[in-house]
Amino acid sequence: MDEFRPVHRAPAPQWYGRLRVRTDDLSPARWLTVSAPDCGAFGTVAGVSGPGFEAYARILHPASRDERPVRWSAVAAAHGTRVTPGSRWYEVAGLDSDYTNASEYGLPGVWDEHPAEGPPPPGVARALVPVLARHTTTPGRCWFGLWNGYGRWDFDRVPCFETPGREEVLLSGTLADAVTPVSLDEFAELPDLWWPADRAWCVGGDVDLTSTCVGGTAELIADLLATAELEAHPVAAGDTVG
């Protein structure tokens, strides 16, 4: 019989990239846990990216070919499908929900890697940062949530706050710091949740999603939809996210 060997997890860091792990006061996240008519159940746009915003957008995580990003619209054109604000990746790629009908991995000449599941991938995050910075008065004071179940670090003894379906470790730093966890290693997950101290917007992702949702003002959402580096669609607070 093979000997059982537990998976090693590194101790919880005090810093996650340049983001500080907060264990003293979780009150900055309280607004995300308060019941509200549009708070949204698990699996809705508002449930992922926070309640009460004027408008919302869904940012699609790109597929890739030879490690270069590929837009869902390009994949849809190749497969004869279409992309709508609520499209699931498997629908766009012409697959069953569990990918069992995939005759080959990807489509030669179009894509060879599925979109990343989880929080915003680094490329998406880098494109988000300058847009978000234009729509907050506090880009130097931001809060972040990281799901405690990713498994790379041991956050079992770190206090968490709850969002629909998830428990999150609270982090703090500047908006520009959001991408710095990749300095730990290239596979380190970025935060699932981002919001500035003035709560002008909230970015929300999830371990099971191939897209990121953003809630904010109508002006912010229009700015995101016009950003060439992002594949974004307008959505409503109660829309499902897959």
Judge whether residue 3 has pLDDT over 50. no
Enumerate the H helices of 114-238 as residue ranges: 122-133, 218-225
Q: What is the pTM of this model?
A: 0.91
Q: Where exactly are the structural domains of the chain?
A: 16-61+116-235, 70-113
> Could you give the angle at the alpha carbon of 91 between the alpha carbons of 86 and 92, nearest 5°?
85
Q: Are 175 and 140 in contact (CB under 8 A)?
A: yes
pLDDT in tens, 13-46: 799 999 999 998 999 999 987 644 445 567 899 9
Per-residue pLDDT, 100: 63
Residue 101, pLDDT score? 60
For residues 200 and 29, give the distance between their C-alpha atoms in angstroms, rounded to a whole number: 14
What pLDDT does residue 177 have? 98
Q: Is the dihedral of CA 201, 117, 15, 180 positive or negative?
A: negative
Query: Is the pLDDT score of 55 beyond 90?
Result: yes
